Amino acid sequence: MTTKMPALFLGHGSPMNAIEDNAFSRGWRDIAARIPKPRAVLCVSAHWETRGIAVSAGEHPPTIHDFGGFPQALFDVQYPAPGDPALARRVAELMAPDGVSPDMERGLDHGSWGVLVAMYPKADVPVVQLSMPYGQPGAVHAALGARLKPLRNEGVLIVGSGNIVHNLRLWGTRDARIMEAWVRFNTKVKDRAAAGDVAGVADYLALDPEAALAVPTPEHYFPLVYALAVREPGDTVRFFNDAGPDAIFMTSAVVG
User: What pLDDT is stored for residue 101 in this prediction?
Assistant: 96
For residue 100, tell me if it sits in a domain: yes
Q: What CATH number is given to the structural domain containing 163? A: 3.40.830.10
Q: How many domains does the chain have?
A: 1
At 152, the pLDDT band (50, 70, 90 cuts) reads very high
Structural domain span for residue 245? 7-255
For residue 135, tell me if it sits in a domain: yes
At 174, the pLDDT band (50, 70, 90 cuts) reads confident
Checking if the pLDDT of 247 tops 80, the result is no
For residue 1, tell me if it sits in a domain: no
For residue 85, tell me if it sits in a domain: yes
pLDDT in tens, 184-239: 999 999 999 999 999 999 999 999 999 999 999 999 999 999 999 999 999 999 99
Structural contact between residues 94 and 147, judged by C-beta atoms closer than 8 angstroms: yes
Q: What are the CB-based long-range contacts (under 8 Å, 24+) for 244-250?
A: 244/23, 246/13, 246/24, 248/165, 248/179, 248/182, 248/183, 248/186, 249/11, 249/13, 249/163, 249/165, 249/166, 249/171, 250/11, 250/13, 250/24, 250/163
Checking if the pLDDT of 1 tops 60, the result is no
For residue 221, tell me if it sits in a domain: yes
- 209 burial (CB, 10 Å; 0-12 / 13-18 / 19+) is exposed
For residue 2, tell me if it sits in a domain: no
For residue 62, tell me if it sits in a domain: yes
Q: How high is the mean pLDDT of the chain? A: 95
For residue 192, tell me if it sits in a domain: yes
User: What pLDDT is stored for residue 225 in this prediction?
Assistant: 98
Residues 6+ apart with CB under 8 A from 25: 17, 18, 118
